[in-house]
Amino acid sequence: MSTDGFVPDPNPEQVVSGGNDTGVTAQRGEGVPSEMRDIRHDHVPTEGSLSTPDRTLIRMSQVRRGLGILGGTFDPPHIGHLAAAVEVRSALHLERVLLMVANEPWQKAGNRPLSAPQDRFDLTSASVGDLEGIEASSLEIDRGGPTYSIDTLHQLKEIAPDQQLFLIVGSDAALNLHTWHRHEELPGLATLVIVERDGDRNAEPPAGWSVERVSMPRLDISSSDMRERVRDGRPLNPFVVPDVINEINARGLYGFTDS
Ligand code: ATP
Ligand code: MG
């Protein structure tokens, strides 16, 4: 069985549970995910009275097998983003999923003024809270300039050559992959994860990709809807987590007026 570069922890007593255990990536300027410096395996099963071979099998099957990357603008982050990240992490047994906050999403450029990258990163960190194995990453913001996934994947490969990378996209994005910058190089760097919301048609990505499909309940919400809600004075709760609502309020984003 492949462990995809992870070595099972020989000393379960020292395992520390909790996803955001170091909180390292929740700080701007620390774009390198903490799992790349400090790989720990949570959820080590209770071994009870199992024989040694059984214990080994169970532990091997629980080993996380890589790093998911859910890219987006996150302006603002909402529970659809969180649900997608959680579902993919669980379905594919990933060590961690990064909410990768785009610095300058070139495909959205020119459509509307985006909130500052720092604000979007802070909101994304706040949205993650203590969700296990989900983290906001500032890698693309720290890199600066227009954001291309190809650069992000190359950078992650360099930082963590042993990690298997999983590029997570919605089925709408899967159909547009051929428009991405240097798209023909992407399949050599990551497995594509297509998140299919209930009712989605089976999206066929361009040839060459190794594909995993993960289904999730349809939460028909978007950041655009959330911005419109703020403008109209309609509630964000429960579509945006309370800590993010507080930050939107405190920063006066999206035309928020506290009246
Ligand atoms: P906007 O309305 O500004 O386009 P968005 O809600 O689509 O924002 P993005 O930051 O563009 O959010 O999306 C980042 C990623 O999250 C994309 O892969 C997208 O498919 C996915 N995503 C967005 N909304 C949802 C949702 N409701 N459920 C599951 N995945 C979602
Ligand atoms: Mg969108």
Residue 232 maps to which CATH number? Answer: 3.40.50.620
- The number of residues making up the chain comes to 259
Which atom of ligand 1 approaches the CA of 170 most closely? 20
Residue 3 domain-assigned? no
Confidence of residue 43 (pLDDT cuts 50, 70, 90): very low
pLDDT in tens, 222-248: 999 999 999 999 999 999 999 999 999
Residue 199 domain-assigned? yes
Over 60: is that where the pLDDT of 146 sits?
yes
The beta-strand segments (E) located in 132-217 are 134-137, 146-147, 165-170, 191-197, 211-216
Q: What does the alpha-carbon distance between residue 12 and residue 216 come to, in Å, rounded to a whole number?
A: 32
pLDDT in tens, 180-220: 999 999 999 999 999 999 888 788 888 899 999 999 999 99
22: exposed, middle or buried (Cβ count in 10 Å: 0-12, 13-18, 19+)? middle
Residue 95 domain-assigned? yes
Can you give the pTM of this predicted structure? 0.80
Residue 36 domain-assigned? no
Q: What does the alpha-carbon distance between residue 214 and residue 196 come to, in Å, rounded to a whole number?
A: 6
Give yes or no for residue 120 CB within 6 A of ligand 1: no
Instruction: Output 187-191 pairs: Cβ under 8 A, ≥24 positions apart.
Output: 189/150, 189/153, 189/154, 189/157, 189/165, 190/69, 190/153, 190/165, 190/166, 191/66, 191/164, 191/165, 191/166, 191/167
The residue that leads in pLDDT, 45 or 251, is: 251
* pLDDT confidence of residue 106: 82
> What's the CA-to-centroid distance between 147 and ligand 1, angstroms?
16
85-106 burial by CB neighbour count: b if 16+ within 10 A, else e? bbbbbeebebbbbbbbbbbbbe
**In total, how many domains does the chain have?**
1
Average pLDDT over residues 81-108: 95
- Give the tokens for residue 85: 């990240």
Neighbours of 26 (CB within 10 A): 19
* pLDDT confidence of residue 184: 95
Give yes or no for residue 75 CB within 6 A of ligand 1: yes
Over 50: is that where the pLDDT of 44 sits?
no
Give yes or no for residue 223 CB within 6 A of ligand 1: yes
Residue 28 domain-assigned? no
Residue 33 domain-assigned? no
| Most confident of the ranges 12-16, 25-29, 70-74, 172-176 | 70-74
Over 50: is that where the pLDDT of 149 sits?
yes
Q: If you take atom 26 of ligand 1, which residue's CA is the nearest one?
A: 80
> What's the CA-to-centroid distance between 6 and ligand 2, angstroms?
33
Q: Which of 218, 223, 239 is the best mutation target for the ligand 1 pocket, counting ligand atoms within 8 Å of the beta carbon and taking the most?
A: 223
Give yes or no for residue 117 CB within 6 A of ligand 1: no
Which structural domain, as residue segments, surrounds residue 114? 12-23+73-255
Q: If you take atom 20 of ligand 1, which residue's CA is the nearest one?
A: 170
> What's the CA-to-centroid distance between 222 and ligand 2, angstroms?
7
Place of tokens 């297509």: 194
Residue 102 domain-assigned? yes
Using DSSP's 3-state secondary structure scheme, residue 191 falls into strand
Over 90: is that where the pLDDT of 256 sits?
no
Q: Can you name the residues that pair with 212 across neighbouring β-strands?
A: 193
* pLDDT confidence of residue 22: 30
Residue 37 domain-assigned? no
Amino acid 231 reads R
Which-ligand-closest: CA of 102? 1
Q: What does the alpha-carbon distance between residue 81 and residue 76 come to, in Å, rounded to a whole number?
A: 10
Output DSSP code: residue 8.
P
Q: Can you name the residues that pair with 147 across neighbouring β-strands?
A: 105
Which contiguous run of DSSP H or E holds residue 201?
none
Using DSSP's 3-state secondary structure scheme, residue 147 falls into strand
Which atom of ligand 1 approaches the CA of 221 most closely? 27
Within 8 A by CB and 6+ apart from 108, the residues are: 73, 114
Give yes or no for residue 169 CB within 6 A of ligand 1: yes
